[in-house]
Structure 1
Amino acid sequence: MEPKELLDFLHIAEHLKCNTRHSYTSSGRHESVAEHSWRLALMAFLMKDQLPGVDMDKVLKMCLIHDLGEAITGDIPAFEKTDDHRHTEARAVDSLAAALPRPLSDEFSALFAEMEARTTPEARVFKALDRMEAVLQHNEAPLDTWIPLEFELNRTYGVEDAAPFPFLKALREQLIADTDEKIADSTMT
């Protein structure tokens, strides 16, 4: 990869710092897509010894790149995303892959295809972590930033994804307990 190609790609990726998500931080400001991706990657790194038989280096790569299409399309919350949105984001990912030299572009495309298919343990772990990071962020955000459907969504989002992996299942159960505690604490004040 030539330096100019790298810088051009990183310039596009920088938009993830500017594009905000539906989620809020604990200080009450909108979270950026880049912040979500960073903590998702940190989660994967910290769990490398908790998921035997899973290639956590591959999961880490998935976490780092999974929302790159949103550098072009912006973020759309999962509960609002349509097939048209997914198609537009897939085209954005294809254009980003095309901007990379081979074999990097091939690896990039293969990772996205694997994440989309969700047939490998790595893709399933990635998706579980992606959803759980969103739940974690909501648990940290002020409750008045939640919309009504999130009171139930925070209890169910990612449960099925985490279930096949004992450590992820336990983590998801703890997130549910944290959600319940947050909601209960708010009704006592």
Structure 2
Amino acid sequence: MEPEKFLEILSVAERLKCNTRHSWTSNGRRESVAEHSWRLALMALLLKDEFSKLDMDRVIRMCLIHDLGEAFTGDIPTFLKTEDDEEKEKREFMGWIDSFPPVQRSEFKALLAEMELRETEEAKLYKALDNLEAVIQHNEADISTWLLLEYELQFTYGADKVGFSDYLKRLKEAIDRQTTEKIAAEGTVPAAAGERNCDDLSEA
């Protein structure tokens, strides 16, 4: 890859450092899309021994590129994202990838097609970890940042993605226990949590 093209691609990807998600960090600031993608890739790296039969390097590549389309659209919360939003993100992302050198263009398109179909164990694992990372991050954030709907979403989000793996089912159970403890420590579900305007959110 020519240095100029390399720098051009990195410049677009840098937007993920600036684009924030609905999730908050443990020290009280909005999480960036780049931070979510980084920790998702770290999760896959840490689980290589648990999924020794899978191509975990491929899973890590999926984790690193999965949200690059949000460089063009920003991040929209799952509970607000429409089909039109998804189509716009995919169109702009694929248009950008078409400008890549042939080798990288081919690799990215192959990975994205596999991720979309979610038929391989690698794609299933990437998607499960993607959902679980978001739930873990919410548990690490102050509960005052949660919307009312997230008290239930913390338990349901990602639950449909872990069934293919005994390890992931145990991981989800451990996360759910943390969620239960966090809510119990709060005492009650505050009515004020439901008063936050979802339309003001830019991502999830």
Shorter-chain TM-score above 0.5: yes
Counterpart in the other structure of 1:48: 48
2-side partners of 1:172 and 1:23: how far apart?
A: 18
Tell me which amino acid in the other structure corresponds to 1:27: N
1:168 aligns with 2:168: yes
Alignment of 1:88-127 (within 5 A): 88-127=88-127
Partner of 1:78: 78
Residue identity in the other structure for 2:104: L
Quote the offset at 1:54 in angstroms.
1.7
| 1:75 maps to amino acid | D
Gapped regions of structure 2 (runs ≥ 5): 189-204
- If asked which structure has higher relative contact order (CA below 8 Å, sep 6+), I would say 2
Describe the superposition over 1:2-36 as per-residue Cα deviations: whole angstroms up to 9, x where unpaired.
00000000000000000000100011111000000
Rounded to whole Å, the distance in 1 between the matches of 2:163 and 2:184 is: 25
Compute the TM-score of the two structures, normalised by the length of structure 2: 0.90
Asked whether 1:134 is paired with 2:112, we answer no
Partner deviation per Cα, 1:118-158 (whole Å, 9 max, x = no partner): 11111110000000000000000000000011000001111
Aligned letter for 1:139? N
Alpha-carbon distance between aligned partners in 1 of 2:169 and 2:57, rounded to the nearest angstrom: 21
The reply to whether residue 33 of structure 1 matches residue 33 of structure 2 is yes
- Compute the displacement of 1:105 (Å): 0.4
Give 2:177's aligned residue: 177
- Asked if 1:147 is matched to 2:154, the reply is no
* SS of alignment partner, residue 103 of structure 1: helix
Note the alpha carbon deviations across 1:79-98, whole angstroms, 9 max, x for none.
11111011011112202211
In 2, the alpha carbon distance for the partners of 1:174 and 1:83 equals: 32
Tell which deviates more after alignment, 148-157 or 91-100.
91-100
After TM superposition, give the deviation of residue 160 of structure 1 in Å: 1.6
Gaps of 5+ in 1: none
Runs of 4+ aligned structure 1 residues displaced above 4 Å come to none
Cα shift at 1:166:
1.1
User: TM-score under structure 1 normalisation?
Assistant: 0.97
Q: What whole-Å deviation, never above 9, does each CA across 1:151-170 have from its counterpart, x for those lacking one?
A: 00001111121121111111
Question: In 1, Cα distance between the equivalents of 2:20 and 2:27?
Answer: 15
Q: CA RMSD in A?
A: 1.0
1:186 Cα offset (Å): 1.2
- Equivalent pairs: percent with the same residue? 55
AA aligned to 2:173 is E
Give the equivalent residue in structure 2 for 1:16: 16
Distance 2:124 2:101 in 1: 28
Question: Which amino acid in structure 2 is aligned with residue 39 of structure 1?
Answer: R
How far is the alpha carbon of 1:56 from its aligned partner? 0.8
Q: Distance in 2 between matches of 1:120 and 1:157?
A: 21
Corresponding residue pairs, total: 188
